[in-house]
């Protein structure tokens, strides 16, 4: 099987799994993305670990799991907010553990341990809250969560296709030589079209709100992609992993999501307050 076929099949399975997890039940979604969270944090610690950087892998994984699970419980039940208090001492645990590790670069080890939690586990945890940003009883706007992924995929797909066909002016050549302004503009145009179509089916957000969300996703998602490229370039690696044939690792596949989700979360909070 050639690389294109492998990439297509893997991508299709990945997309179907995400869509199914959103449509079937919030618990199923949480289970799927908890797995992504664990795989992603393991990939992150694996690629950054070297003689000078030795993150506290198991501490970081544990904090990430607890952050995601607590977020899922609170989002699904709209109760048990006090569980977040458990995370406060856990976030300081890497400082204490590093005292007893006797490593050469304790500040770097602590920083990279917490960076993995902040960069991967926090955005994926926030996904749980997107269907009910107002914490209203009995509300589960699956369309907002589904729309988030559709717009990210639309931007990624059409930015690539338009860039391949018409791309001449580099967007950020120092980080990603292949990305072009033409591709980014193409991704924006098709994402706005996608936002319009989504507004016809999911009326929990207005047309203006969907279009605003499209713009935020295009900008933050592109920056998320560039951020992942920056990390890989600094580490001199092509892919973050090999778990997804033809696509690399979990971090490669979800890179736009990590930066986009916090901005989407904040945007929906503002819309909810202005409602």
Question: pLDDT tens, position by position, for the chain (275 residues)?
Answer: 566 678 788 888 999 999 999 999 999 999 999 999 999 999 999 999 887 889 999 999 999 999 999 999 999 988 888 889 999 999 999 999 999 998 889 999 999 999 999 999 999 999 999 998 888 777 788 999 999 999 999 999 999 999 988 888 888 888 888 889 999 999 999 999 999 999 999 999 999 999 999 999 999 999 999 999 999 888 888 888 888 877 788 999 999 999 999 999 999 999 988 87
Q: What's the domain count of the chain?
A: 1
DSSP 49: -
Residue 106 belongs to domain spanning = 3-274
Whole-angstrom Cα Rg for the chain? 19
3-state secondary structure of 177: strand
Q: Among 146, 157, 147, 155, which Cα is nearest to 8's? A: 157
Phi, psi of 176 (to 5 degrees): -140, 95
Give the whole-angstrom CA distance, residue 159 versus residue 257: 16
Question: Can you read off the two tokens belonging to residue 16?
Answer: 């179907």
Give the whole-angstrom CA distance, residue 128 versus residue 76: 8
* Helix ranges restricted to H, the chain: 3-24, 26-48, 57-77, 87-98, 106-116, 122-126, 142-166, 181-201, 207-235, 250-274
């Amino acid at each position: 099987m050639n690389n294109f076929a492998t990439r297509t099949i893997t991508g299709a399975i990945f997309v179907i799994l995400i869509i199914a997890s959103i449509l079937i039940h919030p618990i199923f979604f949480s289970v799927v993305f908890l797995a992504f969270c664990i795989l992603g944090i393991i990939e992150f610690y694996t690629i950054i670990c070297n003689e000078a950087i030795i993150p506290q892998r198991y501490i970081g994984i544990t904090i990430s799991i607890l952050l995601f699970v607590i977020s899922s419980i609170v989002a699904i039940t709209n109760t048990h907010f006090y569980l977040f208090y458990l995370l406060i001492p856990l976030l300081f645990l890497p400082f204490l553990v590093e005292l007893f590790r006797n490593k050469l670069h304790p500040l770097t080890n602590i920083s990279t341990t917490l960076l993995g939690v902040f960069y991967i586990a926090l955005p994926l945890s926030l996904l749980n809250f997107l269907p009910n940003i107002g914490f209203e009883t009995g509300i589960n706007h699956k369309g907002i969560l589904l729309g988030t992924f559709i717009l990210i995929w639309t931007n990624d797909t059409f930015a690539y296709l338009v860039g391949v066909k018409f791309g001449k002016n580099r967007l950020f050549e120092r980080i990603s030589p292949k990305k072009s302004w033409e591709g980014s503009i193409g991704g924006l145009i098709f994402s706005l079209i996608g936002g319009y179509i989504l507004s016809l089916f999911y009326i929990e957000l207005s047309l203006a709100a969907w279009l605003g969300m499209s713009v935020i996703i295009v900008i933050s998602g592109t920056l998320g992609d560039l951020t992942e490229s920056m990390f890989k370039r600094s580490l001199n690696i092509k892919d973050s992993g090999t778990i997804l044939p033809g696509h690399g690792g979990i971090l490669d596949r979800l890179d736009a999501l990590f930066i986009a989700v916090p901005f989407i979360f904040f945007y929906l909070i503002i819309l909810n307050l202005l409602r």
